[in-house]
Amino acid sequence: MVMFDSLNRHMLPPYNADAWIQAPNFKRLAEKTATFDTSYVCSMPCMPARRDFHTGRPNFLHCNWGPVEPFDDSVPEMLKNNGVYTHMCTDHYHYFEDGGCTYHNRYSSWDFARGQEGDPWVGMVGEPDIPKNINGKGRNSDWANRSKFKTDADYPQSQTFRDGLEFIERNHAEDNWFVQIECFDPHEPFTTDPRWQQMYPSPDIDGALFDWPAYDDVKETPDQVQVATNNYAALVSKCDDSLGKVLDTMDAHDMWKDTLLIVWTDHGFLLGEHGKWAKNWPLLWEEVAHTPFFVWDPRQPDCAGQRRSSLVQPSIDLGPTLLGYFGMEPTADMTGKDLAGVIADDSPVRDAGIFGYHGVRVNITDGRYVYFSSLEPEGDIYNYTLMPTAMRGFKSEGDGAKLVEPFSFTKERQPLRLGKAGVSQENEHGLQGYLFDVQVDPAQQSPLEDPETENRLRQRMTELMRECDAPAEVFARIGLSKA
């Protein structure tokens, strides 16, 4: 499994004939695999999506950023405990912070390449020499880490793929293994060796370095936006080169005959679309929620070069799919689906899927329509956890922590209820719901007035949230009833 972070579907050649980013290996990948046209996120952003992958179920309804819980079923650990050797190669440093600290030990073994973004790696007392940066968001750790990147081989992505390819070289002749090659790129900051930046000559913006957009409205000039976009493009081209090395290795060892290959991402990234940068704070527009996804299944050789239109959600579906590939059953708590049938002949596995961030709108798509729920003006949302850690540090108790009744998936354990945090999200669009027909209007420029479709999707959202045993206050916050 090759996993990228913040990879934009609409900028890749298999999804956009007019894509200007140079990514020949993604085109090559599409010729070798089934390419999924209706792939959506579930829990957002980074670690919530990874908890989805481990557990095979949506986690954003109950908790925000956090570790694998004591009551969770972890797919990599289930594989490990049933004779499948599991190995993770990653530079995704959030795994090694407080809010991600229980993921890597679910694997049989793991590699970690240091230096991405704010990874506290290079010790530097005092202020590093940070060059002029458009948004002023350069973090000290990031600039200290960059001092270690002298050649392209020094970058964390290069090291991550090197580690993954070394694992494959050692083990390709063996049976019953799973390797997860996961890189932080093309997540911001869009930092690459100059050889990649030279592929996308940028306009002069007075010597400023702009490779880390703020999570904010676009306030920069068109030239500045182009510089940031070009830096992102350079990083995608490096990702494409790394992907090509995996494909070369599959070719060299004739692994296509017996090895499953999965390539996916947790979400996309706004590069000025809708007048926004990044994610988290705006609505979950198509550029973020609609993702690239590719699978080769050696049991279904006819899938090569084929398109699949059925609605899938990789973050929750890949766990059951991997279990099925190795002859295992998903647990009763998993709501994701084994995608073997979709890969084989596009057999649908769901009629709709919910997605979102903890504590804000719940969203739903049926593959054609996307509905962003309305929000009630008042209402508190809580975190339910036995691992009260945030991205960095510990979750605030708010009005106090208390043990509450178990949920259906907590294995009769009582979780702590933490928080009483007010709900916030970008307020430009108010509290009303929004419906889009993304087949007709993929840029989501024209909200629909279609009460019948909206009511149908709200009813299906209610049913899917009940299947997940969502807390009652989450229903109330979006104007629905759990009863």
Distance CA 216, CA 280 (A): 10
For 177-198, give one letter per residue: b (16+ CB within 10 A) or e.
bbbbbbbbbbbbbbbbbeebbe
* Residue whose pair of structure tokens reads 């798509």 in the numeric block: 365
Quick one: CA torsion of 104, 78, 6, 237, rounded to 10 degrees?
90
Q: Which residues contact 274 (CB under 8 A, 6 or more apart)?
A: 282, 283, 285, 287, 444
- Amino acid at site 151: T
For residue 398, list its beta bridge partners.
419
Tokens of 383: 């975190």
Please tell me the pTM assigned to this model: 0.97
Q: Which CATH architecture has domain 2-353?
A: 3-Layer(aba) Sandwich (3.40)
The reported pLDDT for the residue numbered 164 is 98
What is the rounded distance in angstroms from the CA atom of residue 123 to the CA atom of residue 140?
A: 10
Q: Which residue ranges make up each domain of the chain?
A: 2-353, 364-477
Question: Residues near 379 by Cβ (< 8 Å), separated by ≥ 6?
Answer: 423, 473, 476, 477
> What's the pLDDT score for residue 139?
81
Q: Contact at 8 Å (CB) between 167 and 249?
A: no
Cβ–Cβ < 8 Å for 37, 51: no
Query: Can you give the pLDDT at residue 426?
Result: 52
Instruction: Classify burial at 445, counting beta carbons within 10 Å of its beta carbon; exposed 0-12, middle 13-18, buried 19 or more.
Output: exposed
Give the span between the Cα atoms of 130 and 137, in whole angstroms. 10
- Quickly tell me which residue has 């149908």 as its tokens: 456
CA atoms 281, 416, 354, 474: torsion sign: negative
Q: CA-CA distances (angstroms) from residue 304 to 263, 311, 314?
A: 14, 19, 19
Q: Which helix (H) or strand (E) holds 89?
A: strand 85-90
What per-residue confidence (pLDDT) applies to 471? Answer: 97
Going residue by residue through the chain, which has 483 residues, state the pLDDT in tens, using 9 for 90 and above.
Answer: 999 999 999 999 999 999 999 999 999 999 999 999 999 999 999 999 999 999 999 999 999 999 999 999 999 999 999 999 999 999 999 999 999 999 999 999 999 999 999 999 999 898 777 877 777 767 889 999 999 999 999 999 999 999 999 999 999 999 999 999 999 999 999 999 999 999 999 999 887 889 999 999 999 999 999 999 999 999 999 999 999 999 999 999 999 999 999 999 999 999 999 999 999 999 999 999 999 999 999 999 999 999 999 999 999 999 999 999 999 999 999 999 999 999 999 999 999 999 999 998 999 999 999 999 999 888 888 999 999 998 889 987 766 789 999 999 999 999 999 976 555 555 567 789 999 999 999 999 999 999 999 999 999 999 999 999 999 999 999 999 998
Closest CA to 356 of 40, 39, 54: 40
